[in-house]
Amino acid sequence: MDERFSINNNSVTKLKIILQKRIVTYLNYSNPLCCILWDENAAQWVNEHFLCTYCTLPDDGRIWTDYLEELHFYKDIANEILIDYDTAKNIGDIQNFITTKVKNGYYAYIYLDAFHISNNSNYKKKHICIQSTLYGFDDDQKFYNSLGFKDGLYQKYNISYDEMINAFSSTMKLDLESVSVWVKWYTITLVKPKLRSNYEFNIRNYLERFFLLKRFLFSMLFPVCLPF
């Protein structure tokens, strides 16, 4: 069996995943890290990343701090498929689409309307897009294995097939002016880690990220930036 799977049979498929706490940050980084760091061979790779932070001061006066990393920082160790809002609207059978991709080794980061997800605090209360990581499914019990926020905690939980279908359909009907640009640009992101027997720490990559002036000059494009 492909080592990326923990279970893979006719009715149940589950990709390996880990609730990593080594790097605590926003979902755009946390989701891929949980899907990559189950592989001990990736430990050296991650040491080359997440070395610098930046800080911005938007117009609303709130300070924003994050890691100085590319959005798709994992592109050297994983294959990626990006599906925007207009393309996602043309997916006829979202359930079959997701299960097929997971069966083929892809983790699916998908924006869903929390109004239809019973494990979310906004269930039947508020229409709001949340990003869920779907990494497995059970055809007998009719649910997806998911990773995301539940009860204020980042954790694993299940989403029924019907809930996922309804939540995705509702996302496709939301007023685009009311949702984040991330929902429009990356409605579905599919990531498939590459198999590798070993990863040797690349000191050149490390030094480039830590010392090269261009990393800090790039961050100065923001109104205020304090690299640490």
DSSP 51-92: --EEEE--TTS--EEEE---TTTTTTTEEEEEE-HHHHTT-S
pLDDT at 26 over 90: no
Model pLDDT for residues 191-200, shown as the tens digit of each residue: 999 877 677 7
Residue 210 identity (one-letter amino acid)? F
Residue 58 identity (one-letter amino acid)? P
87-108 burial, b at 16+ Cβ within 10 Å, e below that, comes to ebeebeebbebbbebbeebbbb
Model pLDDT for residues 100-124, shown as the tens digit of each residue: 999 999 999 999 999 999 988 889 9
State pTM to two decimals: 0.84
In contact, 31 and 109? CB cutoff 8 Å: yes
Q: How confident is the model at residue 179 (pLDDT cuts 50, 70, 90)?
A: confident
